[in-house]
Amino acid sequence: MKGLSSRCSAAGSAARRVRVIVASILRHVPPEMQDAAIYFFVDEITYDEIARVTGMSRRTVGNRLAAFRARVNELVWEHAGDRRAGAA
């Protein structure tokens, strides 16, 4: 049982880290992406549930989350570039 307990604890810790990262990234994305990102990554609800709650179409939810992921990717690469430049 100890192994299961430590795996659950690690999963909970990882989920908390994701929430913290998402919260910091939200400051760098347009407001129209924020709702979908919060519902999906923080509240962990499905595309269909997000569409129902927000009144967006499922396709719009998917598009906004895809744009959010692309922006996250840009931010990660920018951060990596900043770190490399600081190391030089």
Residue 49: which CATH number?
Answer: 1.10.10.10
Average pLDDT of 16-41?
84
- With both helix axes pointing from N to C terminus, report the angle between 58-87 and 47-54 in degrees, rounded to the nearest 10: 110
Name the CA dihedral angle for 28, 34, 38, 39, rounded to a multiple of 10 degrees.
-160
Q: Which domain holds residue 47?
A: 2-87
More confident residue, 16 or 88: 16
Q: Which residues contact 77 (CB under 8 A, 6 or more apart)?
A: none
Alpha-carbon span 57 to 54, nearest angstrom: 9
Number of domains in the chain: 1
pLDDT band at 26 (very low <50, low <70, confident <90, very high): confident
